[in-house]
Amino acid sequence: MKVFLFTVMAVLAPMALCYDEKYDKIDMDKILGDNAMFTGYINCLLDKGPCELEYSADFRKLLPEVISTACANCTPIQKANVRKTAKAISEKPDQFQEFLTKYDPDHKHEKAFMAFVLENE
């Protein structure tokens, strides 16, 4: 019985540590394809505009942890979305540098986070 309970806990524990599944339902392709919407999210994340778009305030709160852990608590869908978003932001070097400076000012996590972003290419 103890082995069974341990096995169940081992399987369920990673799921409990993941970010809310509501973020899995975000249509990242739609956001990235809409320049005004994407800019709205970026402005929120960089404290240059309001966080009025869906989950934008949540993202701003979660981003330091996402970067510092290289998305360790993300679901597979969230990981794919974070990778897409980071790659899209990296196409705008000035904003990308500003983004990294804001969320990893000491550059302690940049190497691991970028390795995560470039996985599965």
- Summarised one tens digit per residue, pLDDT across range 21-31 is 999 999 999 99
The predicted pLDDT at position 49 comes to 96
Residue 14 lies in a domain: no
Q: pLDDT, tens digit, for every residue of 5-46?
A: 344 444 444 444 689 999 999 999 999 999 999 999 999 999
Taking the C-alpha atoms of residue 41 and residue 39, their distance in angstroms, rounded to an integer, is 5
Report yes or no on 86 lying in a domain.
Answer: yes
Does residue 74 lie within any of the structural domains?
yes
Please report whether residue 13 resides in a domain: no
Q: At what angle are helices 110-118 and 76-90 packed, to 10 degrees? A: 110
Into how many domains does the chain fold?
1
- 4 inside domain: no
Q: Which domain holds residue 86?
A: 19-118
Has residue 2 been placed in a domain?
Answer: no
What's 94's domain CATH number? 1.10.2080.10
In a domain, 57, yes or no: yes
**Quick check: is 96 in a domain?**
yes
